[in-house]
């Protein structure tokens, strides 16, 4: 006869079976949580070209956005981790200089509404060190005789959609940028 306080092997086996998945989940959850942190993809942006002469009332505005080199990826375990999203930037053209008409060349797409152009740059799946250079040719007003000096700093470039990314100023400042922050500048 067994005593009421005795525990059978079958009861112990059932208890282990019910508690094993809980232990496994408790162990794996912190590992998954620490493998990726938000704001861990580092990007940089800058003006690619100096001010070009304005020809036929067209101003060339060029920029570069880069998924920065590995030495700035200190917050992710795998420093060659691809970035899973595209990035959007806007170029806001001062209406005292620009008409709002533009053409675009470069990767991705550009759409305009008034004097704001939204450029979607393809970064999804790219690894650190990858960059995209874009070129916007904006129409200037004809009656005011716009020169490159008058157009200087009249275009505002800003990153507006960049999930889980942070921005650092890595490239040195050049004389074609002012009011520079990590994710914006005036050209």
User: What is the reported pTM?
Assistant: 0.77
Please indicate, yes or no, if residue 27 is contained in any of the structural domains: no
Per-residue pLDDT reduced to its tens digit, 82-98: 999 999 999 999 999 99
- DSSP codes joined into one string, the chain: ---TT---HHHHHHHHHHHHHHHHHHHHHHHHHHT--TT-EEEEEEE-S-PPP-BTTEEEEEEEEEE--GGG-TTSSSTTPPB-S-EEEEEEEPTTTEEEEEEEESSSEEEEETTEEEEEE--TTBPTT-EEEEEEEEEEPTTTT--HHHHTT-EEEEEEE-TTEEE---SPP-TT-EEEETTEEE-
What is the tally of structural domains in the chain? 1
Q: What is the pLDDT of residue 52?
A: 87
Please indicate, yes or no, if residue 116 is contained in any of the structural domains: yes
Please indicate, yes or no, if residue 106 is contained in any of the structural domains: yes
Q: Which domain holds residue 126?
A: 41-186
Please indicate, yes or no, if residue 15 is contained in any of the structural domains: no
What CATH number is associated with residue 97?
2.60.40.1170
Please indicate, yes or no, if residue 12 is contained in any of the structural domains: no
> pLDDT tens string for the chain (187 positions)?
444 445 554 544 444 444 444 444 344 333 333 444 555 789 999 998 888 889 899 999 999 999 987 777 777 767 778 999 999 999 999 999 999 999 999 999 999 999 999 999 999 999 899 999 999 999 999 877 888 899 999 999 999 999 989 899 988 888 899 999 999 999 9
Please indicate, yes or no, if residue 87 is contained in any of the structural domains: yes
Please indicate, yes or no, if residue 13 is contained in any of the structural domains: no
Please indicate, yes or no, if residue 35 is contained in any of the structural domains: no
């Amino acid at each position: 006869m067994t005593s009421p306080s005795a525990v059978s092997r079958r009861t112990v086996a059932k208890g282990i079976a019910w508690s094993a998945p809980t232990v496994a989940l408790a162990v794996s959850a912190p590992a998954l949580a620490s493998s990726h942190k938000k704001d861990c993809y580092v990007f940089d942006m800058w003006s690619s070209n100096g001010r070009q002469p304005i020809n036929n009332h067209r101003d060339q505005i060029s920029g570069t956005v880069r998924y920065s080199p590995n030495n700035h990826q200190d917050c992710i375990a795998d420093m060659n981790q691809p970035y899973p999203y595209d990035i959007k930037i806007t170029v806001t053209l001062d209406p005292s200089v620009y008409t709002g008409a533009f053409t675009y060349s470069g990767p991705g797409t550009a759409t305009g509404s008034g004097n704001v152009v939204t450029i979607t740059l393809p970064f999804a799946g790219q690894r650190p060190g990858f960059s995209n250079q874009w070129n916007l040719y904006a129409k200037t007003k004809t009656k005011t005789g716009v020169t490159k000096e008058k157009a200087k700093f009249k275009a505002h470039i800003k990153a507006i959609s960049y999930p889980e990314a942070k921005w650092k100023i890595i490239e040195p400042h050049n004389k074609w940028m002012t009011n520079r922050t990590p994710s914006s500048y005036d050209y």
